Amino acid sequence: MSVSVLGIDIAKQKFDVALLVDGKTKHKTCKNSAEGFDVLRIWLEKQEIRKVHACMEATGNYGEDTCVLSS
């Protein structure tokens, strides 16, 4: 099983992610809200990602209200 890596660049209104799977990168932008993180979860499921190593940029307090991505 390959390791998937998710980088999250978070800001006040939105967040951008870069998903690295098998040497290929995919990008997605979502709202910085519970709805946006649900959109991200669904997108990851469509990519057939079950587990991911994630790293989020620490930008002030914009990442403090993020939701845990689990189903």
Q: Residues 37-47: pLDDT tens digits?
A: 999 999 999 99
Check residue 30 and give its pLDDT: 96
Q: Residues 14-38: pLDDT tens digits?
A: 999 999 998 899 999 999 998 999 9
Is the model's pLDDT at 59 over the cut of 80?
no
Count of C-beta atoms within a 10 Å radius of residue 15: 24
Count of C-beta atoms within a 10 Å radius of residue 40: 22
Show me where the domains of the chain are located: 5-56
